[in-house]
Chain A
Amino acid sequence: MGIQIETGQRGLTDPEMQKVIADAVPEQPLESNRKMNYFVKPRGRRLSEYEILCCYTQPTPDWIPGGLDWGDWTQKFHGGRPSWGNETTEMHTTDWHKHRDPAKRWHAIYVKDKAEEWRYTQRFLKQFSADGQIRTMDPVWRDEVLNDYLGAFCFNEYGLFNSHSSASRDCLGDTLRMSIAMIGLDKVDNAQMIQLERTFIAKLVPGFPESTAEPKREWTEGAIYKGARETVQDIWQATYDWNEILWAGHQVYDAIFGQFVRREFFLRLSSYYGDNLTPFFINQMQLYHSQTKGITGDMFFHCLGDDAEFGDYNRRLMRAWTDKWLPRTVNALKDFMGIFAKIPEIEHVTTRDAIEVALTRVFDDWTEDYADKIGYKVDKAALIKTVLSGLK
């Protein structure tokens, strides 16, 4: 048969065409190595599908550690700045391709998880409304705290989300770039879930203000989130080193401020005010926090902190960055203490003793999970004292 086909003819299903193809295909495979990316060093015992699909997609030359290509960039920024360069971060490594998401999430796995969460969220909201669970919610908690202060926290998450844009542009590794984009999406998901909760309440409670105007006023002009707002703005727009953005955002600020606000304030207190709705959303945020912690922990502690050549230097730099961002984070938390004067008091729940215990949990976790890993000395009592000085 001829080689010019008619529209719609397919080689697999047209018998004549398939015969031509079958005659050309070798009887035995020409290559016995059927493992894609066989040259990649696996993190586990064998190369995972995640490593096969993600590793070395980054086309950097060998003068960026870990790169497989040679030569310069084929087009640079105006003025000659390179497409990607070692100078975009103060961190050093022998291999920017070493990072792995501990959950081994490539895109399909990532969206499958989130799609399940969305479907379950839809089912949960229908059940929650049909069950009339909103009736148990304290009106002040609902109309003041959730509307204004959870609403304002939306902007915290939105600002942190935006801090991932330049990091996803500038970072030097493929698995890392994908991880950064995913944890960025999780942050905007948090912001959207907060607005989703407010919209949901507005559907159930006529008169509940769905608009973002009041929460935004609280975020931009109020005292409770002042320190948080200033810190988020600086992480997002005043920091250029993409590793510092991630360190400041995830290893310091969100690990302390974010954890207190989400876990120790909204999650812990909501049940005391008859709120069974907020924990549903906060727990999704906590799941994302925990997955992000795995990702950033792998990068900073395993890849950079334990790098054979640059580990000591990197840990020293992480300590220096912590020196820079910890006081701002503590100050943000101190400002946030003002919120306790806005809620109906419950003895040993919203009073100083309980707040101190909650703060201790947060700083204990942070010391063990972050500070200790880089040899950072923490005076927890002093930090907690500073934060508590913000109580009205």
Chain B
Amino acid sequence: MAISAATKAATDALAVNRAPTSVSAQEVHRWLQSFTWDFDKNRSKYPTKYKMANDTKEQFKLIAKEYARMESVKDERQFGSLQDVLTRIDAGNKVHPKWNETMKVISNFLEVGEYNAIAATGMLWDSASAPEQKNGYLAQTLDEIRHTNQCGYVNYYFTKHGQDAAGHNDARRTRTIGPLWKGMKRVFSDGFISGDAVECSINLQLVGEACFTNPLIVAVTEWAAANGDEITPTVFLSIETDELRHMANGYQTIVSIANDEAASKYLNTDLNNAFWTQQKYFTPVLGMMFEYGSHFKVEPWVKTWNRWVYEDWGGIWIGRLGKYGVESPASLRDAKKDAYWAHHDLFLLAYALWPTGFFRLTLPTAEEADWFEENYPGWHEHYGVIYEEWRKRGCEDPNSGFIPLMWFIENNHPIYIDRVSQVPFCPDLCKGASTLRVHEYNGKKNTFSDDWGERMWLTEPERYECQNMFEQYAGRELSEVIAELHGVRSDGKTLIAQPHTDKDGKMWTLDDIKALNCVFSDPVDAL
């Protein structure tokens, strides 16, 4: 076989060409787009009503090995801080107890989102046809494994070095007991992985990551640091360095479908549904975690929300996508109303159901009540008086024989669960916008708390059939449910959950709960 004259000449020239050289990641990456080929069966296993363009580019131009190098450098810094300096100064025991409890929830629940995002980006990697776009999603798939492990590491660190390991050490098992879990799954689990692939991308990247990771991952570090926790900022800010690429992936998803006719028909509806889905849970839960799960306060949640969600995301980020026909969601205005009262409404219910948690909750102190009233005028008249009554009845003391759930029953304030968001609400007591709506379908009554969710359910009821905790536990005695779902500490009797973080306060046991003879019922039955 003959070689060309040009190649022969070049080969001869090698005799004198011995400059050391290598190949950069970008020099490989520029060929990536040519790695695929056409064939009959080449289509995604996850159909989408949109058509993703074949020539979509990615912005970060990583190859596998360069990705690993970059992440490895970040890991060295992060684990170096955690394992060296933070451990030597006993950082785990210098965190305010209220925040120690908050991180049981935040870290584990973020882990759920990160874990499900592995699957979500696997689906997007399958759905995209452009190799560069696949490559961007692939890097995210690996990032999500990283973040899953990192969030786990926060709980692991608090377990090993913190003041109360219970809940940190078994959150993956005990999280399923209480009222916050199923809503978490809706936004951070199923919302990312079940549906039209582009719709899932909008949920994950355009809303979850571009909108809510700022308050969830960035703002949380300010609250953590204020309350003595330097563990969380060390990990979460390292996570956030990857999130920028994920937001860019979301942006590229939109770019890839921008010229598709389906985009003009469906994109804004999908975005609106995704935004409402995510905000319905995160707006109240994050606000509750920050304000009620801390001692030192950074700023009122409503201000954080306005800055990150309303102005930065709803205005600037979505504004940038305006040229592709993307509009700010119609539900943004309603969400803004929720940002004021919804987290206060949720805490009322979360505290009432405290025995089903995997963390300790604390009633606002007098100083905190003043802070709430100052920042949310009208708070005391509506919520403060209720907490005063609960405290007077001894809700923190196991000898009182009183948990606030009993107060709801005594006063006929039924707690319902929104079928679509799985977020609990009490229409009698909520100061936010929630109102009760009921639909019967296939012999089952479904309750809803807002227009947007109700509309999603009316369009596709088969997508939202999950049982809620009242349906699941109906007829069961409370202590029995807690014991069965492992909500006790290593002594086998003291609850992981407690209604206070007072170091001198008495801890509730299964026997204390059993003495209440509190039996679950489904309030929907009475409708």
Which chain A residue lies CB-closest to B171?
A36
CA distance A122 to B188 in the complex (A): 39
* CB of B511 within 8 Å of the partner chain: no
CA distance A219 to B118 in the complex (A): 31
* CB of A381 within 8 Å of the partner chain: no
CA distance A238 to B44 in the complex (A): 10
CA distance A265 to B172 in the complex (A): 48
Give A117 Cβ to nearest chain B Cβ, in Å. 6
Summarize A's interface: helix, strand, loop or mixed. Answer: helix
* CB of A31 within 8 Å of the partner chain: yes
* CB of A158 within 8 Å of the partner chain: yes
Give A292 Cβ to nearest chain B Cβ, in Å. 14
Stretch at the interface among B189-197, B243-251, B307-315, B331-339: B189-197
* CB of B303 within 8 Å of the partner chain: no
CA distance A68 to B485 in the complex (A): 9
Contact partners of A229 in chain B: CB under 8 A:
39
Summarize B's interface: helix, strand, loop or mixed. Answer: helix
Stretch at the interface among A105-113, A254-262, A298-306, A320-328: A105-113
CA distance A73 to B189 in the complex (A): 9
Determine whether the beta carbon of A25 is less than 8 Å from that of B94: yes
If A29-B164, A78-B196 touch, whether A112 touches B72 (CB-CB below 8 Å) is yes
CA distance A342 to B507 in the complex (A): 80
Partner of A119, one of B69, B91, B185, B465: B69
Contact partners of A238 in chain B: CB under 8 A:
41
CA distance A191 to B17 in the complex (A): 28
Considering residues B64, B422, B467, B489, which has the most beta carbons from chain A within 10 angstroms of its beta carbon?
A: B64
Contact partners of B120 in chain A: CB under 8 A:
169
Which chain A residue lies CB-closest to B165?
A31
CA distance A256 to B493 in the complex (A): 57
Determine whether the beta carbon of A73 is less than 8 Å from that of B466: yes
Determine whether the beta carbon of B35 is less than 8 Å from that of A53: no
Contact partners of A58 in chain B: CB under 8 A:
115
Contact partners of A106 in chain B: CB under 8 A:
145, 149
Determine whether the beta carbon of A34 is less than 8 Å from that of B226: no
Determine whether the beta carbon of A70 is less than 8 Å from that of B176: yes
* CB of B182 within 8 Å of the partner chain: yes
Determine whether the beta carbon of A154 is less than 8 Å from that of B166: no
Partner of A31, one of B66, B75, B490: B490
Q: Which residues in window 95-127 of A have CB below 8 A to B?
A: 106-108, 110-115, 117-119, 121-122, 125-127
Determine whether the beta carbon of A132 is less than 8 Å from that of B18: yes
Contact partners of A196 in chain B: CB under 8 A:
23, 27-28, 63
* CB of A308 within 8 Å of the partner chain: no
CA distance A167 to B460 in the complex (A): 27
Contact partners of A291 in chain B: CB under 8 A:
none
Partner of B94, one of A5, A18, A114: A18
Contact partners of B186 in chain A: CB under 8 A:
74-75
Determine whether the beta carbon of A112 is less than 8 Å from that of B1: no
Contact partners of B32 in chain A: CB under 8 A:
192
Give A200 Cβ to nearest chain B Cβ, in Å. 5
If A69-B176, A78-B460 touch, whether A208 touches B7 (CB-CB below 8 Å) is yes
Determine whether the beta carbon of B37 is less than 8 Å from that of A4: no
* CB of A184 within 8 Å of the partner chain: yes
Partner of B226, one of A10, A55, A56, A122: A10
Chain B 124-144 interface mask (CB, 8 Å, partner A; 1/0): 011000010011001001100
Give B361 Cβ to nearest chain A Cβ, in Å. 15
Contact partners of B35 in chain A: CB under 8 A:
154-155, 158, 191, 195, 212
Q: Which residues in window 164-213 of A have CB below 8 A to B?
A: 164-170, 174, 177-178, 181-182, 184-186, 188-189, 191-192, 195-196, 199-200, 203-208, 210-213
Partner of A195, one of B31, B146, B153, B172: B31
Question: Chain B interface residue count: which class?
Answer: 35 or more
Determine whether the beta carbon of A34 is less than 8 Å from that of B165: yes
Determine whether the beta carbon of A184 is less than 8 Å from that of B138: yes
Considering residues A3, A32, A112, A342, which has the most beta carbons from chain B within 10 angstroms of its beta carbon?
A: A3
* CB of A375 within 8 Å of the partner chain: no
Determine whether the beta carbon of A125 is less than 8 Å from that of B23: yes
Stretch at the interface among B53-61, B290-298, B321-329, B405-413: B290-298
Considering residues A30, A69, A108, A131, which has the most beta carbons from chain B within 10 angstroms of its beta carbon?
A: A30
* CB of A44 within 8 Å of the partner chain: no
Which chain A residue lies CB-closest to B199?
A78
Contact partners of A216 in chain B: CB under 8 A:
34, 37
Contact partners of A35 in chain B: CB under 8 A:
159, 169
Partner of B45, one of A3, A132, A140, A166: A166
Contact partners of B94 in chain A: CB under 8 A:
11-12, 18, 21-22, 25
Contact partners of A356 in chain B: CB under 8 A:
none
* CB of B253 within 8 Å of the partner chain: no
Partner of B122, one of A32, A80, A168, A344: A168
If A59-B189, A238-B41 touch, whether A129 touches B225 (CB-CB below 8 Å) is no
Give A115 Cβ to nearest chain B Cβ, in Å. 4
Chain B 148-170 interface mask (CB, 8 Å, partner A; 1/0): 11001101100110111110111
CA distance A342 to B1 in the complex (A): 8
CA distance A129 to B17 in the complex (A): 8
Partner of B20, one of A37, A126, A192: A126
CA distance A69 to B195 in the complex (A): 21
Apart from A53-B156, A57-B172: 19 A-B pairs, beta carbons within 8 A: A11-B94, A11-B225, A11-B226, A34-B165, A59-B115, A70-B176, A71-B467, A75-B195, A78-B195, A78-B460, A83-B189, A125-B21, A130-B19, A143-B7, A169-B120, A169-B123, A196-B63, A212-B35, A233-B41
8 residue pairs of the A-B complex, CB under 8 angstroms, read: A27-B503, A31-B490, A35-B159, A76-B465, A125-B23, A140-B3, A166-B123, A220-B37
Residues of B within 8 A of A (CB): 1, 3-4, 6-11, 13-15, 17-23, 27-28, 31-32, 34-37, 39, 41-43, 45-46, 63-69, 71-73, 75, 79, 89, 91, 93-98, 111-112, 115-116, 118-120, 122-123, 125-126, 131, 134-135, 138, 141-142, 145-146, 148-149, 152-153, 155-156, 159-160, 162-166, 168-170, 172-173, 176, 182-183, 185-186, 189-191, 193-196, 225-230, 295-298, 367-368, 371, 422, 460, 462-467, 472, 486, 489-490, 501, 503, 507
**6 closest Cβ contacts across the A-B interface?**
A11-B228, A114-B68, A168-B122, A118-B65, A165-B126, A115-B72
